[in-house]
Structure 1
Amino acid sequence: MKKLTLLPLAMVLVFYLVSCEGITKKETKRINTEQTGYSFERIFVVEEGCSVDTLEDCTHVLLEYPVFEGEKMKQANSFLNHRMADILGFGDAESDSLVDLEKAAQNMLQDYREFKKEFPESPQVWNVRMISHLIYEKEDLVCVKMVSESYMGGAHGSLNVSYITFDTTTGSFVHLFDRIENKELFLSLAEQKFRRKRNLTPEENLEKAGYWFPDNKFRLPANIGVDSNGYLLHYNPYEVAPYASGPTDIVIGFEELKKE
């Protein structure tokens, strides 16, 4: 499968804004790739009266995600669907059925309207943006990078990156660390790179330095992805440090893991 070149965000928004009418403006657009393996779907829901220039001042939801074709990848589609629904607060952990994401987006806007009725003087503007694209397609693996940015009240918004890898022969989620042959070397490289990123010496105590590693024991992030350069490790805010510390990104090249 080849990577899809996505339209610039502004182009997508213009298309949706001029194509929709009503209390909310919405459009679902399937974009076919050169391959038959997957396509991309976009859902954009926004309050009436908004334009591209005023989008930051308008409550809106933007979803952009791959849809895989074929019976084998139904599980992958369900995984991505429920991940987005959960972020929108519309998930159902007990259901295997796909969530209507357009309805979930509209539900979020309705929640905002109810909030404004109760607090009409509030300057808050809610938004959720989830942009996903394929960053790796080789042999039996495909890796999706999902960037979700949201604000639904509070002191600040949320920005999270998820790497989601699937086995293309089964559609099941893959824990990449399970596929690493030399796990000890992988962990050692990850800790070395984390310390360098955070300007910590090899001997410095992680807990005393303000990082959330119980008993000073380094651990991998929840998010491990893969691209043509190697393995991608991403610590989201609040994962091992306060929000103000920001995220931490680490790359472990394939060649580094071949060293004895």
Structure 2
Amino acid sequence: MKIGFAYLLIALLLWNCEKDNRLTFEPFELISENCINCPKVTIHIPKALDDTPISHIINTSVQEEVISLLIYDDEVEASNMEEAIQSFKNGYLELKKMYPDEPVGWEADVDGKVTYEDKNILTIQVNSYSFTGGAHGFSSTRFLNFDKIKEVEMEPMEIFKDPLEFQSFAERKFRDQEKIPASGSLNATGFMFEGDEFYLPKNIGFTQEGLQLFYEQYEIASYADGPIVLTLSYKELEPYLKFKQEL
């Protein structure tokens, strides 16, 4: 019984150590004022609560991403999300002055979530949708990857030991997924790779299912095709990643 209790105690201590490696988040919501001549803006993002450098870096990066999605009035230099919402509103009001009979309102929705975390890495995915007139709105997905040990935000290529070697591997997986022969033209199947040569997307992020390569609408295909997503398992990525995944 004593031996069994000792094993249980060790297991609990190890579990607590693993748990302590994870950051603490709470949901943060910001909604624009409700008025007739106001565009509708809704923001839902995770906010890191720990008083640590990496938490401050995460919150700053997420806020900057939200601001970049909402800035519409070049005369306004937004330093926070409230000012970015005002910039978006100014853009709408300026359009109303030019076209007072414009019947369609503007809207923007930003939603963020933590998609992956281990002792080394944390990833936040920011999805957004905005409509400012025209035939359809604009959707985007952005991955923010953070090195928790170095306490920095990482650029996508910093994830890999050898980015060019990984790109060759990713192209083989992409061709397999899209059923494109190894020696065949990428664009012959309807894609729009510049120069008919494979390249990695701007958005690459860690998820529970694997590393996600996310091509935005228009990035390599038509709007009607929507985003093109390639998800690679961590097991097959072991030779290419700088970090060993510990789910």
What is the TM-score with the length of structure 2 in the denominator?
0.74
Matched-pair contact (CA < 8 Å) for 1:85–1:91: no
Matched, 1:70 2:59: no
Q: 2:70 aligns with which of 82, 85, 88?
A: 88
In structure 2, give the amino acid aligned to 1:191.
E
Matched-pair contact (CA < 8 Å) for 2:71–2:87: no
Indicate the SS of the match to 1:229.
coil
Partner residue in 2 for 1:40: 27
Matched-pair contact (CA < 8 Å) for 1:195–1:202: yes
Partners of 1:207 and 1:228 in 2: CA distance: 31
Indicate the SS of the match to 1:187.
helix
Partner residue in 2 for 1:24: none
CA RMSD of aligned residues (A): 3.0
Partners of 2:93 and 2:72 in 1: CA distance: 16
Identity fraction in percent: 26
Partners of 2:162 and 2:205 in 1: CA distance: 17
Matched-pair contact (CA < 8 Å) for 1:207–1:215: no
What are the Cα deviations for residues 156-212 of structure 1, in whole angstroms up to 9, with x where unaligned? Answer: 211111111112234421135433346566434422332344443332212444433
Q: Which has the larger radius of gyration?
A: 2
- Tell me: CA distance 1:183–1:36, structure 2 relative to 1, closer, same or farther (3 Å): closer
Matched-pair contact (CA < 8 Å) for 1:44–1:62: yes
In structure 2, give the amino acid aligned to 1:88.
L
- Tell me: CA distance 1:64–1:86, structure 2 relative to 1, closer, same or farther (3 Å): same
Q: Which moved more, 1:150-159 or 1:137-146?
A: 150-159
Partner residue in 2 for 1:120: 100
- Structure with greater helix share of residues: 2
Q: 1:166 aligns with which of 146, 170, 183?
A: 146
What are the Cα deviations for residues 36-79 of structure 1, in whole angstroms up to 9, with x where unaligned? Answer: 633321101143269xxxxxxx8311111122233412233222
Distance apart, 1:257 and its partner CA: 2.7
Q: Which runs of 5+ in 2 are unaligned?
A: 1-21, 241-247
Indicate the SS of the match to 2:152.
coil
Q: 2:170 aligns with which of 169, 178, 190?
A: 190
In structure 1, give the amino acid aligned to 2:145.
T
Partner residue in 2 for 1:254: 234
1:94-133 matches, within 5 Å, as 99-133=79-113
What is the TM-score with the length of structure 1 in the denominator?
0.71
Matched-pair contact (CA < 8 Å) for 1:72–1:170: no
Indicate the SS of the match to 2:29.
strand
Partners of 1:247 and 1:36 in 2: CA distance: 30
In structure 1, give the amino acid aligned to 2:58.
A
Partners of 2:73 and 2:60 in 1: CA distance: 12
Partners of 1:176 and 1:113 in 2: CA distance: 37
Distance apart, 1:145 and its partner CA: 0.7
Partners of 1:90 and 1:253 in 2: CA distance: 38
Partners of 1:201 and 1:46 in 2: CA distance: 53
